[in-house]
Amino acid sequence: MTDKLDIYINETTQSDIDEILTIEAIAYGKHHWSRDSFVSEINNKIAKYYSVKIPTGELIAYIGFWNIVEEAHITTLAVNDNFKRKHIAEALIAKMLEDCYNNYIKYITLEVRASNTPAIKLYQKYGFKSLGVRKGYYQDNNEDALIMWTENIFGDKYKKLYLENVKKIDEYLIIK
């Protein structure tokens, strides 16, 4: 096994936006979110954003989601290309799930590009299932989005899945 990577997961602040925009532009191309969009989201009372930094202080990933009654909706998730395939996105999903458990949020939903196989596999690992399609959802190429949902995360089956996945994350990351 390789050395574990130290990371810090904290709530995103406005001072993080410049680094987020750098990752966002690479991850999502010319149709990425603007500075104003992120400022608005960070100040949105139903939104929650977490960022991942390494010990040098560099921001390497982020996740955003809305909490609406008993449902969370993932709005964005991206990882710096140099840190992909290192379980960073998983750590962010686990952090979001922890937040959902603490706030009695039962279900999680998201849209993902139909062609984004690595993301789809990651979401499936966390119990998301595709329950529909949004035709032509993405503006840049009119690509369809899969609509994915979890079952009730408070169910025994889902809790077991969550705990198994979190345990595996600990094999790769030291989360502070």
Alpha-carbon distance of 149 to 165, in angstroms, equals 17
DSSP codes, 36-91: HHHHHHHH-TTEEEEEEE-TT--EEEEEEEEEETTEEEEEEEEE-GGGTTSSHHHH
pLDDT tens, position by position, 90-141: 999 999 999 999 999 999 999 998 999 999 999 999 999 999 898 987 767 7
* pLDDT digit string, tens, across residues 16-62: 999 999 998 888 877 678 899 999 999 999 999 999 999 999 999 99
Both tokens assigned to 97: 């799930």
Identify whether 107 is a catalytic site residue.
no
Q: Is 151 a catalytic residue?
A: no
Provide the phi-psi class of 85: left if phi over 0, else alpha when psi is between -120 and 50, else beta.
left
The pairing of strands 173-175 and 145-149 is: unpaired
Q: Which of 62, 90, 111, 126 is an active site residue? A: 111
pTM of the model: 0.92
With a cut of 60, say whether residue 1 has pLDDT above it: no
Catalytic annotation, pick one of 49, 50, 123, 162: 123
- List, edge to edge, every strand of the sheet that includes 59-68: 129-134, 145-149, 107-113, 71-79, 59-68, 47-53, 5-11, 173-175
8 Å CB contact between 172 and 4: yes
- Single-letter residue type at 135: K
First to last CA, the chain: 20
> Token digits for 170?
């600990």
pLDDT at 147 > cutoff 90: yes
